[in-house]
Amino acid sequence: MASRKFKPSVKSTLPFKTGNRERRHKLHIVRKKALDNTRRDQRFRRRKEEDKDPRLREERLRQNIPLTLERKRVWDDVDGDTGDGLGVSVDVERLKRQRLGEEAEEFEDEEDQIDQEEATEAPTSDNDGDSMIDSASDNDESSPAPAKPPSRHRTATGRATSPTQFTLSTNLDLTPSALATRFPTLFSTDPPPLPKTLITTSLHSTLHDEARLLTTLFPNSVYIPRSAHRHSYKYSVREIASFATNRAYTAVLVLKEDQKKPTGLTFVHLPAGPTFHFSISNWVEGKSLPGHGRPTEHNPELILNNFRTPLGLLTAHLFRTVFPPQPDFQGRQVVTLHNQRDYIFLRRHRYVFREKRVTEKSVIGPDGKEVKGVEGIRAGLQELGPRFTMKLRRIDKGIQRASGQEWEWKGGMEKQRTKFQL
């Protein structure tokens, strides 16, 4: 054992271990203080160096990016068309940019080849002493007129050579044609009808207040209690969908519960399906949120974020069908559906534009730079509720008599944590 006179330096680690519990605890405190002081000295030394050379700080911040699970996300290698792509994890926007880039390169190669052919076929000077008239007549008789060079004005495909900066907002115009053919009711070219939603619950449910709360979230919706009396007829979801179709409803929502809490939400797209099954977690009502507001009857704006795969675009189109295409901007209400790691976070806010305070930063775009034109404007948000988290579990084919008989897509088949489906 070391001598008692030996005291470890505050700038070093412990030189030995001891069996005495109290002394080991004191040595641990000394070692912890030594490590904290060392880190503090390094921090101050780095700050002095970065104050002298700001480029060091920029380089450090550029490399200091946390390695999260989203940055480890992997995509499936797809060559060409993905088909409907429900079981394929591929970024539709990136795939289209890649295809446009390849077409632009082929277009440029064809232009270069035509320019080279024109250069080689250009007439050269002849020293045989032929007259200009004879040479012109010979050229007219022997060789046809040269082809007209293509126009230098590029088409939309030729101009889209540089990839655009990625944003979280979902571009619904990138839907694959095979996916639209497989689900024609969700991807109809006709103007969408005004959404009209019927909300009900599962049998023997006690979530009447939660179901009425959903009627304030989805515009033009009505809640019809689902009776479970022993003398009453227990309607199935298929019979309820038939009832709703005859009354011009566009969707049926079935709220499921477990232990008197919402645990699932089923979307039935009318008149012929498909049926989407979501699980629900972290349900919080608006009155439980601090500083919450009261929603109004205005049609909210809809924001769909980060739906990038064909399955994600299909899910985004489903949510778009239950909200009116023309929101009431005077209500200043917005519903956000943000997808992150296949979890869909639903939030509803009321916003107001105000002047930026001195202590606040300017609005930063997806490229990390300040957005020009809105330097002195900030948006204030007030959450209205409810808030909850959904996860897609299964997509059934059509409207089935019993759930899960025939399905278009089923979750839980992918075991790789870094591969996401939406």
Q: What's the whole-number mean pLDDT along residues 387-414?
A: 83
Query: CB 344: neighbour CB atoms within 10 A?
Result: 23
pLDDT over 90 at 11, yes or no: no
pLDDT over 90 at 347, yes or no: yes
Q: Tell me what the pLDDT averaged over the chain comes to.
A: 80
Higher local confidence (pLDDT), 52 or 132:
52
pLDDT over 80 at 333, yes or no: yes
Structure tokens at 374: 């809105």
DSSP reduced 3-state for 180: helix
pLDDT value of residue 74: 84
User: What is the distance between the alpha carbons of residues 152 and 190, in angstroms, rounded to a whole number?
Assistant: 37
Tokens 């070219």 appear where? 189
**pLDDT tens, position by position, 87-98:** 788 888 777 777
pLDDT over 70 at 201, yes or no: yes
- With residue 42 as reference, give the H or E element that holds it: helix 21-52
Q: What's the whole-number mean pLDDT along residues 69-87?
A: 74
User: What is the distance between the alpha carbons of residues 320 and 25, in angstroms, rounded to a whole number?
Assistant: 60
Q: Which residues contact 170 (CB under 8 A, 6 or more apart)?
A: 304, 305, 306, 307, 308, 312, 313, 316
Structure tokens at 406: 């025939």
pLDDT value of residue 154: 37
Q: What's the whole-number mean pLDDT along residues 252-281?
A: 93
Structure tokens at 257: 């519960």
pLDDT value of residue 403: 65
Share of the chain above pLDDT 90, in %: 38
pLDDT band at 83 (very low <50, low <70, confident <90, very high): low
Query: CB 263: neighbour CB atoms within 10 A?
Result: 16
- With b for 16 or more beta-carbon neighbours within 10 A and e for fewer, the 283-301 pattern comes to beebeeeeebbebeeebbb
pLDDT band at 177 (very low <50, low <70, confident <90, very high): confident
pLDDT value of residue 49: 93
CA distances from 308 to 61, 71, 176, 243, 420 (A): 28, 15, 12, 35, 10
Q: Which residues contact 111 (CB under 8 A, 6 or more apart)?
A: 150
Give strand pairing partners of 199.
223, 253
Q: What's the whole-number mean pLDDT along residues 271-296?
A: 92
Share of the chain above pLDDT 70, in %: 80
H helices of 227-268, in order, are 237-246
- Indicate the range of 158-162, 235-239, 273-277 predicted with least confidence: 158-162
Higher local confidence (pLDDT), 62 or 349:
349
CB 153 within 8 A of CB 56: no
pLDDT value of residue 329: 93
Query: CB 406: neighbour CB atoms within 10 A?
Result: 8
Residue of 405, 397, 378 whose CA lies nearest to 84: 397
CB 422 within 8 A of CB 392: yes
pLDDT value of residue 72: 84
pLDDT value of residue 368: 74
DSSP reduced 3-state for 156: helix
pLDDT value of residue 404: 62
